[in-house]
């Protein structure tokens, strides 16, 4: 059965896609049966780029993940079979494309335990956090107010607040990092005063892999009446997430880190809070009525999605979510916990010259930052590349954190659903060769 455009003879209001677009593609690609026998080796074959390059050890999924065939196929088929202007056309194709886009919203809502009206499609986590900063921050903060962040934030959860503070006079404070790679929550009592209007914290550090106790922080923040924003860029792709259980007001994540296309991400917001937000961008699709000199605005989510959205990308992201659901987010998380423990043990046992950072207990995501003696992180990454190992090097958009760790840069290996134990073995063996190469400088 393939998805096919058929002129809708039943009248516009009934012009719906009978079989959801993505589910048709998934079933044609026989995903339900294939998923019965998943191992990372099998999963790797779902990713054309990895399948074509068996010698590539891709350890930079924290920056962006590779894309499975079903996502590439969904985006391609959207353009071949369904492409139309959404929400405006009176013709069947437009109704069907709109339906597929709204189905994608429902899929994303279900993935994080939200209501579909609470899902705003944005470009990425950065845009989601800027949206909150501009639409809420600029209109609600003033001199004397405080924003509480942490020392382990990505620049995407720092710079928007700097911009807002420059304009409003509000001030930033940060929960410090403890020596164990976790936030020092003993400081919360003194930091969380009535002046704090907003707390914004990463769920998982993109450098240390630390999983922050967001629910606990959210409870404390709410007790002083502060709003809570969670940067979920590193948690939505890797672990089961239920926004109700987190107890936050906003949760932001990017599609491209979770098997989806670039150019699409999600801001989830509690509906009562979304309703209070002023528009972030103005233009088509977000209005109720427009006059030459003024306008009134639609309800969320439309109010916060101005202009033509990334339709193909949103539907592609929903395909990525269906793919991850078939794998099971519990299994995805368990796989990464296990790989991380394995990699850290081998590094500790076999490479004493390598220093790693981050918590050493079992609750730690698949991100390992490391330095090799005094060798620059870029040199280490470039040397690893000679062996087909792709790791990232630099400050990973977390300069304050690196300052705190006392290093200018780290190399970083990060894992995902397609990462295998053999990948880790090859990484360790290559790192030994790199160590031997640099031995006179260590």
Ligand X SMILES: Cc1ncc(COP(=O)(O)O)c(C=O)c1O
The contact set with ligand X (CB under 6 A) reads 63, 124-126, 154, 156-157, 202, 206, 231, 233-234, 254, 397
Is residue 259 flagged as an active site residue? no
CB atoms within 10 A of CB 428: 19
- How far, in whole angstroms, is CA 207 from its chain's centroid? 14
Q: How far apart are CA 165 and CA 157, in angstroms?
A: 13
Q: How far apart are CA 26 and CA 31, in angstroms?
A: 6
Q: Shortest gap between Cβ of 75 and ligand X (angstroms)? A: 18
List the structure tokens of 137: 């921050």
- Phi and psi (nearest 5°) for 362? -80, -20
Q: Shortest gap between Cβ of 388 and ligand X (angstroms)? A: 23
82 or 129: CB nearest ligand X: 129
96 or 157: CB nearest ligand X: 157
82 or 122: CB nearest ligand X: 122
369: helix, strand or coil: strand
Catalytic residue among 397, 420, 425, 437: 397
- Phi and psi (nearest 5°) for 106? -65, -40
First vs last Cα of the chain: how many Å apart?
61
Q: How far apart are CA 13 and CA 22, in angstroms?
A: 22
Q: Shortest gap between Cβ of 126 and ligand X (angstroms)? A: 3
Cβ–Cβ < 8 Å for 345, 168: no
77 or 238: CB nearest ligand X: 238
CB atoms within 10 A of CB 436: 9
Q: Shortest gap between Cβ of 119 and ligand X (angstroms)? A: 17
> Rg for the chain (alpha carbons), in Å?
23
99 or 151: CB nearest ligand X: 151
Q: Shortest gap between Cβ of 147 and ligand X (angstroms)? A: 16
User: Among all residues, which ones are annotated catalytic?
Assistant: 397
């Amino acid at each position: 059965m393939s998805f096919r455009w058929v002129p809708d003879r039943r009248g516009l209001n009934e012009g719906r896609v009978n079989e959801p677009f993505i589910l048709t593609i998934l079933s044609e690609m026989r995903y339900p049966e294939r998923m019965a026998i998943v191992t990372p080796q099998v999963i790797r074959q779902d990713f054309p780029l990895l399948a074509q390059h068996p010698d590539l050890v891709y350890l930079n999924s924290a920056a962006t993940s590779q894309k499975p065939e079903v996502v590439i196929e969904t985006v391609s088929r959207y353009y071949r079979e369904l492409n139309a202007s959404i929400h405006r056309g009176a013709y069947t194709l437009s109704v069907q494309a709109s339906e597929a886009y709204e189905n994608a919203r429902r899929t994303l809502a279900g993935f994080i335990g939200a209501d579909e009206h609470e899902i705003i499609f944005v470009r990425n986590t950065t845009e989601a956090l800027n949206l909150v900063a501009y639409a809420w921050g600029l209109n609600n903060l003033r001199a004397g107010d405080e924003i509480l962040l942490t020392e382990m934030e990505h620049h995407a959860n720092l710079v928007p607040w700097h911009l807002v503070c420059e304009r409003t006079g509000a001030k930033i404070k940060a929960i410090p990092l403890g020596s164990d790679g976790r936030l020092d929550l003993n400081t919360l009592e003194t930091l969380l005063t009535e002046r704090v209007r907003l707390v914004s914290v990463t769920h998982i550090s993109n450098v240390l892999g630390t999983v922050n106790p967001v629910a606990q922080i959210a409870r404390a923040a709410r007790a002083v009446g502060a709003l809570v924003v969670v940067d979920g860029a590193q948690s939505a792709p890797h672990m089961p997430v239920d926004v109700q259980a987190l107890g936050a007001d906003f949760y932001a994540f990017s599609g491209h880190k979770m098997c989806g296309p670039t150019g699409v991400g999600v801001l989830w917001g509690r509906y009562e809070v979304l309703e209070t937000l002023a528009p972030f961008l103005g233009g088509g699709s977000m209005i109720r009525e427009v006059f030459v000199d003024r306008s009134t605005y639609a309800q969320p989510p439309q109010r916060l999605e101005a202009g033509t959205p990334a339709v193909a990308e949103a539907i592609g992201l929903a395909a990525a979510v269906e793919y991850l659901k078939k794998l099971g987010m519990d299994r995805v998380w368990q796989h990464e916990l296990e790989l991380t423990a394995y990699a850290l043990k081998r590094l500790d046992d076999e490479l004493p010259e390598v220093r790693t950072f981050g918590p050493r207990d079992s609750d730690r995501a698949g991100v390992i930052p490391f330095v090799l003696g005094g060798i620059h992180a870029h040199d280490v990454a470039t040397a690893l590349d000679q062996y087909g190992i792709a790791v990232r090097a630099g400050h990973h958009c977390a300069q304050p954190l690196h300052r705190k760790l006392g290093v200018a840069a780290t190399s970083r290996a990060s894992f995902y659903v397609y990462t295998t134990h053999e990948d880790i073995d090859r990484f360790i063996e290559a790192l030994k060769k790199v160590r031997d190469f640099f031995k006179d400088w260590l």
